[in-house]
Amino acid sequence: MPHDLVCRKCGKSTPYDGVAGGAPCQHCGYKIPHIYVLFGMLPFLLYFGTLLAIEIIFRPPIPDELKILGGMAGLVLLWYIYARWSQRGT
Ligand SMILES: [Zn+2]
């Protein structure tokens, strides 16, 4: 599923084939124009780590259904914010 993403160096749109880091940039030849795709995993790991820590440490007295729902809502929000951030300046 080829998809265009913004190059990290020159800011122009270049194809991203889904491989980590992607192919070199078409415009400036930068080798890893989409390195933030890798860094993009970090907030999600942190997010789940935080949820797990809260669950273990505080044991909030709310139903599991609400926890799952709240977790998913937070994840979608985080995803949206990240998508906006990663495509900024276009
Ligand atoms: Zn470039």
pLDDT tens by residue, 16-70: 766 655 678 788 877 776 666 666 677 778 888 888 898 889 888 888 888 888 8
How far is residue 52 CA from its own chain's centroid? 19
Please tell me the distance between residue 67's alpha carbon and the centre of ligand 1 in angstroms.
42
68, 51 in Cβ contact below 8 A? no
Show me where the domains of the chain are located. 1-36, 40-90
How far, CA to CA in Å, does 28 sit from each of 2, 14, 23, 38?
19, 10, 12, 20
**Paired residues of 4 in beta bridges:** 15
Please tell me the distance between residue 75's alpha carbon and the centre of ligand 1 in angstroms.
30
Please tell me the distance between residue 17's alpha carbon and the centre of ligand 1 in angstroms.
15
7, amino acid identity = C
Give the SS3 label for residue 4: strand
Please tell me the distance between residue 21's alpha carbon and the centre of ligand 1 in angstroms.
13
pLDDT of residue 90: 61
* Stated pTM of the model: 0.44
